[in-house]
Amino acid sequence: MDRKKIFNPHGIDTLNERKIIKGNSTNIFNLNNVKYSWANYLYRTMMGNFWIPEKIDLTQDRVDYNNLTSYEKEAYDGILSFLIFLDSIQTNNIPNISDYITAPEINLILSIQTFQEAIHSQSYQYIIESILPKEVRNNIYERWREDKVLFERNSYIAQIYQDFLENPKDKNFSKVIIADYLLESIYFYNGFNFFYLLASRNKMMGTSDIIKLINRDELSHVIIFQQIIKEIRNENPDFFEDSIIFEMFDQAVKQEITWTNHIIGKNILGISEKTTEEYTKWLANERLKGIGLQPLYKGFDKNPYKQLERFADTDGDGNVKANFFEGSVTSYNMSSSIEGWDEF
């Protein structure tokens, strides 16, 4: 893989020559002339969904946190630690991917994603400073040093990113794209469901509201990588090896189940080792179907946390859905949103 030039005067910007990777664009952002129209729609929606965490009042959450059980506090702190890692690594890594993307309209939405990941990191800081006791705060950021399960999770995805950065060959790029898709589409959601479970009991409602906003952004990031993978597979049929994709998915699912059982355990009503396995494997099957592959886990075709969707608003009037072609990503707006998804 060759990193694209900042400006390529010998590039050709005709649409029939444009490609997601290995193209020859000038890298001028002519957004009146795009090949991947889905990127334009997604860009406009992501821009319309701008928000800042400080608009959400966390005063009651500080009271609620003091009344959580010790198990709930442990899960709350540990999940925050993992989410901080996910958004930190994405903020750093997305520009590395964009350096090798040769379709300007895709570079544009990746730049918006990078900004959103930074907002998420700010959101976790706001939660920590507003809710957690001072003696707990630093431990959230340092937990990976002491928690072996968390360190292994962090190391797995970080190593794939680092391998590509140090050796940007085709195989490493294909793996880093799948790793990004796994991070955006698998790794967040057991943690999100924990916060929605608390909200279902009228606990930590402000935290849940912030998680909803992050959840909405992450679903748009799922869409980005779903579409990138499908476009690359269409333009370069041999670029991805299905066996490697399935292997990476299986590893990610195993790690997600191990981590969730480790940090949540058996002591929080509504979440069990059984529901964690059912949910994670169901979700993985859905994400595989989203990129045109067959499900990996037979018999895992139902979401055991369906009742929590009303708290996430993933299937309500807001139509926050992981499949770009099913609806809009427009709920919980703090700014005006652009209409027009139904016409696509």
Size of the chain, expressed as the number of residues it contains: 344
User: Which three-class secondary structure string do you get for 70-115?
Assistant: HHHHHHHHHHHHHHHHHHHHHHHHHHHHHCCECCHHHHHHHHHHHH
Rounded to the nearest 5 degrees, what angle is found at the Cα of 93, between the Cα atoms of 281 and 32?
Answer: 100
**Long-range residue pairs from 133-138, CB within 8 A, at least 24 positions apart, any chain:** 136/77
Q: Is residue 32 assigned to a domain?
A: no
Q: Is residue 39 assigned to a domain?
A: no
Q: Is residue 234 assigned to a domain?
A: yes
User: Between the CA of residue 86 and those of 30, 187, 303, what are the distances in Å?
Assistant: 32, 8, 23
Give the active site residue among 65, 100, 124, 297: 124
Task: Give CA–CA dist 197/190, Å, rounded.
Answer: 10
- Please state the separation of Cα 38 from the chain's center in Å: 18
Q: Is 156 a catalytic residue?
A: no
Q: Is residue 15 assigned to a domain?
A: no
Which value, to the nearest 10 degrees, does the dihedral of the CA atoms of residues 227, 37, 316, 305 take?
A: 0
Q: Evaluate if pTM is beyond 0.85.
A: yes
DSSP reduced 3-state for 21: strand
Q: Is residue 1 assigned to a domain?
A: no
**What are the structure tokens assigned to 82, written together?**
């993992």
Q: Is residue 145 assigned to a domain?
A: yes
Task: Give CA–CA dist 105/42, Å, rounded.
Answer: 10
Tally of structural domains, the chain: 1
Q: Is residue 41 assigned to a domain?
A: no
Rounded to the nearest 5 degrees, what angle is found at the Cα of 272, between the Cα atoms of 271 and 274?
Answer: 125
**What are the structure tokens assigned to 92, written together?**
């750093």
Task: Give CA–CA dist 28/7, Å, rounded.
Answer: 7
CATH at 306? 1.10.620.20
Task: Give CA–CA dist 323/321, Å, rounded.
Answer: 5
- What does each of the 344 residues of the chain score in pLDDT, given as a tens digit? 889 999 999 999 999 999 999 999 998 988 888 999 999 999 999 999 899 999 999 999 999 999 999 999 999 999 999 999 999 999 999 999 999 999 999 999 999 999 999 999 999 999 999 999 988 888 999 999 999 999 998 999 999 999 999 999 999 999 999 999 999 999 999 999 999 999 999 999 999 999 999 999 999 999 999 999 999 999 999 999 999 999 999 999 999 999 999 999 888 989 999 999 999 999 999 999 999 999 999 999 999 998 888 777 644 443 444 333 333 333 434 443 334 433 33
Range(s) of the domain holding residue 236: 59-315
Task: Give CA–CA dist 111/98, Å, rounded.
Answer: 8
DSSP reduced 3-state for 10: coil
pLDDT of residue 311: 76
What is the 3-state composition of the chain as percent helix, strand, coil, each rounded to the nearest 5?
A: 65, 0, 35
DSSP 34: -
Contact indicator for 308, 196 with CB cutoff of 8 Å = yes
How would DSSP label each residue in 236-278? STTSS-HHHHHHHHHHHHHHHHHHHHHHHTT-STT--HHHHHH
Tokens 């193209």 belong to which residue? 23
Contact indicator for 45, 337 with CB cutoff of 8 Å = yes
Q: Is residue 111 assigned to a domain?
A: yes
